[in-house]
Structure formats: C-alpha cells, structure tokens
Chain A
Amino acid sequence: MFFVKAFLCRLPLIEILMKKVFLVFLALVVLFIKDVRAQEIPMYGPDLNQKSLRINMGSQGVGAEFGYGINAKTALRLGANFIPLSANNAVNVSGFNSTSRVSASFSNVHLLADFTPFANAHGFRLVGGAAYFMNANGNLQMQPKSDYSYGDIVVPAADAGNLNMRVNWKGVAPYLGFGLLKAFPNHAFNINFDLGSYYLRRPDANIVGTGLLAGNSSQSAQLQRNLKDYRFLPVLQLNFNFKL
C-alpha cells in the first residue's frame, strides 16, 4: 500500500508517463489500421464490422455505448455515462464540530478504442480514448452541529453560517485501461469488464462561507493546492453487450 501511495504521489512523473503511453497507444492503433488497409489484407476476425449496444454500470455510474468493429483487432465505442452520488458526514475538518453532506456529479461522452493485441487471447483488450466531462463536480457542505457559544452568548447553529467547498474537473480527459472478456458477443449477448482510469484536468476549487464563516473564502487557495493532484478517476465497469 505504501509503495502504491508513494508511486501515485509522483504525479508529475505519472502525468508524463500516462500521456506518453496514451499517445503511443493511439499511434499503434492508427498505424495498425493504416497497415492493414495498405496491405489490403482481407478484413476478418472477431471484431470486424460487428455492432453492439452496451449498457454499463460501475464506478463511473451507468451509461450506454454503441460499439463497432473497424477491423480484425480494433473496435470503437461511443457512449455516455453519468453518476450522481452523495453521502452524509463523510468528511471532517479539524476544529469544526460539524455535520457534512458531500456530493459528486459526473457525466461524460466518450470515444474509446478496444484493441485486441493477441490473436490467441481475444478476451484481453487494451482500451484507450478520451471523454468530455460536461459535468464533473464535487461539493462539500458543512454546518455547525450545534448552537455556537460565543462567550456567554448562544448563537443558533442556523445563524452561525455554513461552509461550501466546490471542486470542478469539467473538460476533456484521456482514458487508458484494459478490458477483460470479448468485446463483442458471439451470439446475442455477452458480458465483459473494463478496468482503467480517466486522467482529469487539474480541478478548480473554491470555498464559500456564509454568516460567521464568510471569511473562509481565503482558504480557497489552500483547497486548490490540496486537490491539484486529484486527477485520476478510476473506472471499474461491467458491460452488458447486445449484438445488433
């Protein structure tokens, strides 16, 4: 666990590495397509011209995709996903006896390529592409848990104010991962899995306070610094594929 964390903390290195791997992957896909067409090899194989409708669910919520096999080893999928999440009292700030409500809302449209590199292992796919996140927000609202004592004066919790922290990752994000089980069903239906991660843009973060906490907007810069490396959106997804 320590090594994983230490590794993840080397984010500038990961950022460069991920971008390079992504570019190499895309270049390989493009070269492969061009190569196949240039040599006029008859197009055949597990993915060629196949079409499917996919319903998926996982860590990036629920969504749907249209898949199309563009050659023997490569398929494209165009789809959309969304997820609304919320949880109570998942976060505490030291020095602030409070209740909290945290929520997140992510929705994207994406274009991904499934590449099956091994002829004898059709169930293993490399997956790359990108998404545009129309909505990628995290919100944390905190308010005092009880009435606030200021000296001998009791200020009702409702009058003390609250804190709202907002984070926004909206924008384009590359995706890299791998898939397990075949991209297209042999017959009418199959299931496969995706495991990977989007690499989101650096988030915008701010704090807005009300009432006696109105001065907390001064903490926005610190929150932005704390969240600048929160860019990996992991995807663990189950796909239900219906042959078209």
Chain B
Amino acid sequence: MMSKIQKLLFVALIALAGCKKPTDNLKVVVDTDIIKYTALIQVTDAANGVSAPANATLTVSGADANDIYEISGKKQFKLTNGIITIGPDPDAAPTADKTASCNIQISAPGYNTTTKSVTFTADQKQQIINVSMVKTGGTVTAPPVSKPQPVYESVSLNFTGTCASRKDVEIRPSMYLFYRETGTNAAYQYLGYMEKGSITVTTLQKGKTYDFQLIYGGKSYTQTQLIDETNYDVKVDMGDACKDF
C-alpha cells in the first residue's frame, strides 16, 4: 500500500504536468566490446594477395578452442569475403600469466588446406592474421608487395549501428573496419580497428567518397560517406544484428 502511495506521489510530483513521456525516442546504446581480445583473420589467394578463395571455410581447434567465439559471440565461424574476427570468451581472456590460443584451419576447394596458430596475449588486444591460400599443385610465391598507404589530413569517424527492426536499440561497434573508394569495385582494404564506434585515420582523401564495411556475425554491412570534413557521424544499417541485444 505504501509503495502505491509513493508511486502516486511520485507521479504527481515528477510528472510536473509535462506533456512528453520522458523516455520518448530514447535509444538504448549497447557496446559490442564484450570480446576484448580479437584476431582479424584475412584469407587471400596467394596468386594475387587480394581476393579470397571462393567457398573457403574455417575451423577452430586447439587447447582453448572451446573458449573461442566469432566477434558476435557465436560459435559460427563463417568467412565473409575471406574475413572473420575471432576472440576468447571474456571469462577466458588472456592475463599476464596465461595466454589463450587456438589453431585455425582454412580450407577451400582447389586450394591447399592451411593451418595457423593464433595466440592471444594480455598486452595485445588486436592482431591481424593474414592467411595466404595456395592453389592445389601451385607453388608458394612471395606475397605481393603492397604499396605504402598515402597520408592525408586526419579524419574522425563515429559509427553507430542501427536496425530497422529495432528502432529502440543502437550499437556502438568495436570491430575492424574496411574501406574502398566508391565506384572502383576494388576489394575492401583494412582501414583500422574502431573502438566503441570511433576511429581516426589519415588514409582518407578529402573530396572522395568511400564505401565502409563491417563484418559481424558472418554478414557484411556497408555504408557510403563523402569525406570533405574532419569529423563524421556515420549510421550503418546492421540489418537484424540488433535482435541479439
């Protein structure tokens, strides 16, 4: 009874004859950095160093394999455009005394199966593992020499993930970001790791338009942005990813 009286008093007091519900249009913003130690796996064809072999698959094995998840927190290790991000469960995160490690095996029809070891250490939150796949019967060649990235004025991007199906939730992604110049149809290149949706880079040229790509839960999410200022808030439609929050 006392509780009801208190609620009534509270409503009378706090409502203050306002017209709009205090929580109208408020979004719940959720961070995705639950898996704090991650490895970006990039699988490419050794012949050109860019495109990913078709139908490549990845399996995880080794001592800590049970603790390793895709960045969306699932046990589904699906390569998307040759890319996947994996990491250990927060409870199995590496410490100064203990690392977390696993082996990844990548197979693709017509290519030699490749295995690599991935070790997560407490002093390295992000790492990139490049896996170069050699065609069956082919020879291992030196990886193509990549051109140095040009350096432009610093640009800050603040990404927010939105979902048409859950307008009351927004995602602040912590994940690896890829880019390409719009209209080139070139393969996406690694741009950097964004922490809680924010990333500052010097590889984007003012006056150009870029496609940005996130890969999360085995799906690719893209957004296009013209760069002519130094700071942008970029909304990325993340499809049905919000239903997990």
Interface residues of A (CB under 8 A from B): 5, 8-9, 11, 59-60, 83, 85-88, 90-96, 102, 104, 106, 138, 140, 149-153, 155, 159, 163, 165, 197, 200, 209, 211-216, 218-219, 222-223, 226-227, 229-234, 236
Contacts and interface: CB of A to CB of B under 8 A. Distances in A.
Given A152-B69, A153-B34, A8 B10 contact: no
Interface of B: 3, 6-7, 9-31, 33-35, 69-70, 72-75, 89-90, 166, 168-170, 172, 196-197, 217, 244-245
18 contacts: A85-B10, A88-B3, A90-B7, A93-B26, A95-B27, A151-B69, A159-B90, A209-B29, A212-B30, A215-B30, A216-B28, A218-B29, A222-B27, A223-B26, A227-B22, A229-B18, A233-B16, A234-B13
A222 B26 contact: yes
Given A212-B34, A230-B22, A95 B166 contact: yes
A85 B6 contact: yes
B91 to A, nearest CB: 9
Contacts, number: 141
Give the interface centre of A95, A211, A214, A227 by most chain B CB atoms within 10 Å. A95
The B contact surface, by secondary structure, is loop
A92 B18 contact: no
Nearest to B20: A226
The A contact surface, by secondary structure, is mixed
B172 to A, nearest CB: 4
Contacts of B172: 215
A70 to B, nearest CB: 31
Contact of A90 (B10, B29, B90): B10
Contact of B13 (A140, A218, A233): A233
